[in-house]
Amino acid sequence: MQAIETAVASLGLELVEVEHLPRGLLRVTIDHADGTAVTVEDCERVTRQLQYVFEVENVDYGRLEVSSPGLDRPLRKPQDFVRFAGLEIDIVLRVPFQGRKKYRGVLLETAEGDAQGRFSVVLSPPESPAKNGKGKLGAAGRSKAKSAGLLDAAKPQAEDAQSVMNFSLAEVRDVRLVPVVDFGSGRK
């Protein structure tokens, strides 16, 4: 893993995750730290570099797949949670909370005084098929969340108040960005 991370970083890219899958498939997901889209050329450069590293390090693998994280990018490292604050995420918990493991909400910026390694999300109400969020928390939503004082989701809230759930990386199984697709229709 360290050899892969070093090789990817040497090319000016960020390692998102490495998956060892059946039949020797090694899947490496890369991204640009500045938010630039990953190109086919980026994937080709990383593939060539990793093939060389694996030959030198004598790493046994059947196939190598290098790709971008996609629209539903996984969040794995604490830096990811800082970088994507303000965006809508899907969280799958390891242990059910209030009878559910899956939640959706807007990731809050880490505030001073927050416990290190803890993150907060303003929970969206359970979605009905007719509703569809925009993916970003506006200024009004942020101030409302701050005025809520990072309330715990376990406390009963008034209908217009937003619930905030605090979590650590150890408590989640998977966290991904909610895909936001804009085809530039010009409609608002």
**Model confidence pLDDT, tens digit, residues 15-57:** 999 999 999 899 999 999 888 999 999 999 999 999 999 999 9
Mean pLDDT value of segment 125-150: 48
Instruction: Quote the strand ranges of 22-59, DSSP E.
Output: 25-31
DSSP symbol at 164: E
pLDDT-derived band of residue 112, with 50, 70 and 90 as boundaries?
A: low
Rounded-to-integer distance, Cα 174 and Cα 183, Å = 28
Pick the more confident residue, 143 or 65: 65
Q: For position 5, what pLDDT does the model report?
A: 94
Two structure tokens written together for 163: 């619930």
Q: Check: pTM over 0.75? Answer yes or no.
A: no
As a whole number, mean pLDDT of residues 116-124 equals: 88
> Is the dihedral angle over the CA atoms 138, 175, 129, 187 positive or is it negative?
positive
- The pLDDT assigned to 184 comes to 76
Find out whether 177 and 87 touch, Cβ atoms under 8 Å.
yes
